[in-house]
Amino acid sequence: MVDLSVNLGGIPLDNPIIPASGTCGFGLELNEWYDINILGAISLKGTTREARFGNALPRIAECRQGLINSVGLENPGIEKLLAEKIPALRAIYRKPIIANISGFCVEDFAFCAERAEGCADIDILEANVSCPNVHGGGMALGTDPKVAAEVTRAVKKASSKPVFVKLTPNVTDITAIARACEEAGADGLTVINTLLGMRIDIRTRKPVVAASTGGFSGPAVFPIALRAVWQVARACRIPVMGCGGVSTAEEVIEMMMAGASAVQVGSANLVDPMACKRIIEQLPEVMERLGLKDLKQLKIN
């Protein structure tokens, strides 16, 4: 028997597999396919202070080994999240819930964190300073160490819950942002969000997505995400949730060898809603093949 359990900054998880924000709605969508209580935790769709319709259509562009999305943080707003979405999820789900919050200024993040503080069913706040699909905030807040630190301090001041900051790969040195967030009080880091990408329709000579550019994700970004996790885990002492292109149990092991304490599965859920279930079921076999009895001390040689 192998032990799949891990510890994420003091929060025990039955296994390291977490559907990434934006790829599983508010949890109920995945529960139509399987019992989501098999998951280690779940990261909910990104939420902002006010409801957002999102970007104009079309929002999705297919790519080899991935896709580009430009959804633009479509969501019902923090109040509806707390009043409707989380209670509905908690009625069927007993594992840790990660609320992903975003905004267009520091005050937006602080407001969402303060409102989330009163919700006992939220276990972790994930501050998304890395969304490439919105203007006037999003990724722009996560490319400057000083601003990323300011957001981190504001969220920590507004809430006593563990705070993980989700980092963008669209920077020269991701470790500089990571260290700034750690010094500002972050309890952990999520590495990485999507890369900025683009597709052009050669027949119309126009970008495929209405916003021109969007977040590129999928299997093609895995080596980049793995490198970023490896760098951040060595630059910081706080736990890391690895994210980016993960679609197999073997890649989960790689992420944890690079230094991740838990692993988020993103775009794979959009292609195959059973992806997380499949990975969880395959992990014991892969661990046994590698001679691993547990995941807690899994590190690269």
In a domain, 172, yes or no: yes
CA dist., res. 165 & res. 241, Å (int): 10
Q: Which of 131, 181, 236, 243 is catalytic?
A: 131
Summarize pLDDT for 63-101 with one digit per residue, the tens: 999 999 998 889 999 999 999 999 999 999 999 999 999
Handedness of CA 290, 235, 177, 212 (dihedral sign): negative
Res 129 pLDDT > 80: yes
- Is 235 contained in some domain? yes
Residue 137, pLDDT above cutoff 70: no
- Is residue 297 in a domain? no
**Number of domains comprising the chain:** 1
Query: Average pLDDT for residues 14-27, to the nearest whole number?
Result: 96
Check the CA dihedral 301-11-132-266 and report its sign: positive
- Check pLDDT > 60 for residue 134: no
Is 100 domain-assigned? yes
Mean local confidence (pLDDT), 141-165: 95
Q: Give me the CATH number covering residue 158.
A: 3.20.20.70
What is the span of the domain harbouring residue 30? Answer: 6-55+71-198+216-290
Structure tokens at 30: 């995945």
- Give a yes or no: residue 299 inside a domain: no
181 is catalytic: no
How does the average pLDDT of the chain come out, rounded? 94
- Indicate whether 65 belongs to any domain: no
Q: Is residue 250 part of a domain?
A: yes
- Whole-Å CA distances, 134 to 152, 172, 208, 279: 19, 20, 17, 31
Strand partners, 166: 128, 190
Percentage, residues of the chain above pLDDT 90: 90
Tokens matching residue 1: 């028997």
**Which of 281 and 131 is assigned the larger pLDDT?**
281
Q: Is 300 inside any structural domain?
A: no
